[in-house]
């Protein structure tokens, strides 16, 4: 095929806030009606705290119709066709289009300061909608269920099984664990086992963080320094906790966490797991592992590289593992590559070996999500970017 297959591993979809009411159990309608204006106001304030209102308004100008692809399937297909994207992994949405799920069930997924029953109701409302949305075009939409792992493992497992039965391909778990049992606790093993045995990919995504006082100087800088750490924190719990030792076919993805720092994180885990004088006094915390942490990462883990993907990302691709990096457009968020995806791809991929371009843009995602390559290639043959565009010196 003379075109590349692109599978974006970072896309976002969600209904306008009021639309989630139709997907809630009726017993939550009254609570939803009371919470909706509060959610709108809190979202507006969040936008102001991040000082992005003017940026968003300017960025949206002229592309308003295309942004409705966050919930309109026909618009979405038109948009990703123009991007050359054959398929997408779909996370919940948030501030940009005022379309996060209700009751704190959006990307932030804080397990404190909320009613777990209501948060579950919001998560299930989104899961019902995203399953419906993906059934409209199952080859192109790789849907994820929001699964609130931390409250009750049996309840979480039931939701994972439901999601699998509905055709969803993975789960999004809370990156923030608060005072709940962390992910190195063996009690979560039934969920990991089901996900492994049914090819359900486990995800975290950037965004979750503790509360920051954005009125203080430098608070945004603190957040920008820490956000990738919070989103990635479950990873080292799972590695050192032996999750990937016990479940060697489990697939785990951290998405939109930048890439330049990951090789240092892998090196640090390997050093900490080695026999060192400085860690000897801490006792045995390694005998449950038969491989280095970086080896578990390269076997079981992937990075959904989006938003901040640039020359820094491409420069560390071999240190991360060329088979562990997956491209994402982050549509419809303003920090992503859309609506200039084709230009961005040419900027950072031109001159890269063809096998590496193929792996990062689509091949690694096919492996991670167990996708049907033949069906996706048929779509890519129609809309994918031409290989000749990425030859060094191409016009």
Per-position DSSP letters for 213-276, written without gaps between them: -TTSTTHHHHHHHHHHHHHHHHHHHHHHTTHHHH-TT--EEEESS-STTHHHHHHHHHHHHS--
- Res 314: pLDDT: 84
- Res 395: pLDDT: 44
Q: Which residues in the chain come in under a pLDDT of 70?
A: 48-53, 275-282, 307-308, 392-395
- Res 278: pLDDT: 62
Cα separation, 168 vs 73, in Å, equals: 16
Taking each helix axis as running N to C, give the angle between helix 189-197 and helix 153-165, from 0 to 180 degrees, rounded to the nearest 10: 10
The matching CATH number, chosen from 3.10.50.30, 3.20.20.140, 3.40.50.720, 3.40.190.10, for 7-390 is 3.20.20.140
Name which of 86, 13, 11, 10 is nearest 362 in CA terms.
86
CA dihedral 279, 281, 283, 287 (to 10 degrees): 30
Length of the chain: 395
Q: Which residues pair with 171 in a beta bridge?
A: 145, 202
- Res 276: pLDDT: 66
- Res 307: pLDDT: 67
Q: pTM for the complete prediction? A: 0.95
């Amino acid at each position: 095929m003379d075109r590349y297959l692109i599978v974006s591993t970072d896309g976002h979809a969600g209904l306008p806030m009021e639309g989630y009411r139709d997907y809630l159990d009726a017993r939550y309608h009254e609570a939803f009606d009371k919470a909706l204006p509060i959610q709108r106001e809190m979202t507006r304030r969040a936008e102001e705290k991040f000082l992005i209102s003017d940026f968003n308004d300017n960025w949206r100008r002229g592309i308003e119709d295309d942004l409705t692809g966050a919930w309109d399937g026909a618009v979405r297909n038109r948009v990703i066709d123009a991007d050359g994207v054959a398929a997408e992994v779909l996370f919940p949405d948030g501030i940009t289009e005022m379309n996060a799920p209700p009751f704190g069930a959006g990307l932030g997924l804080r397990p404190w300061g909320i009613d777990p029953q209501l948060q579950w109701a919001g998560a299930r409302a989104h899961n019902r909608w995203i399953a419906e949305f993906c059934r409209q075009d199952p080859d192109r939409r790789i849907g994820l269920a929001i699964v609130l792992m931390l409250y009750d493992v049996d309840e979480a497992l039931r939701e994972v099984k439901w999601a699998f039965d509905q055709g969803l391909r993975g789960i999004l778990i809370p990156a923030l664990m608060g005072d709940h049992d962390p992910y190195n606790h063996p009690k979560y093993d039934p969920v990991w086992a089901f996900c492994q045995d049914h090819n359900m990919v486990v995800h975290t995504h950037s965004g979750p963080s503790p509360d920051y006082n954005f009125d203080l100087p430098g608070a945004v800088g603190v957040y920008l320094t820490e956000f990738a750490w919070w989103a990635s924190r479950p990873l080292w719990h799972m590695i050192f906790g032996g999750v990937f030792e016990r479940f060697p076919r489990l697939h785990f993805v951290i998405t939109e966490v930048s890439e330049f720092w990951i090789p240092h994180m892998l090196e640090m885990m390997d050093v900490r797991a080695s026999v060192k004088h400085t860690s000897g006094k801490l006792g045995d915390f390694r005998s449950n592992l038969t491989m280095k942490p970086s080896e578990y990462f390269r076997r079981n883990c992937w990075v959904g590289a989006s938003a901040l993907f640039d020359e820094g990302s491409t420069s560390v691709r071999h240190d991360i593992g060329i088979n562990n990096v997956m491209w994402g457009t982050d549509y419809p968020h303003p920090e992503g590559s859309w609506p200039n995806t084709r230009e961005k791809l040419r900027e950072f991929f031109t001159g890269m070996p063809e096998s590496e371009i193929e792996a990062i843009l689509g091949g690694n995602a096919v492996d991670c999500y167990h996708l049907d390559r033949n069906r996706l290639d048929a779509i890519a043959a129609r809309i994918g970017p031409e290989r000749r565009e990425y030859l060094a010196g191409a016009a």
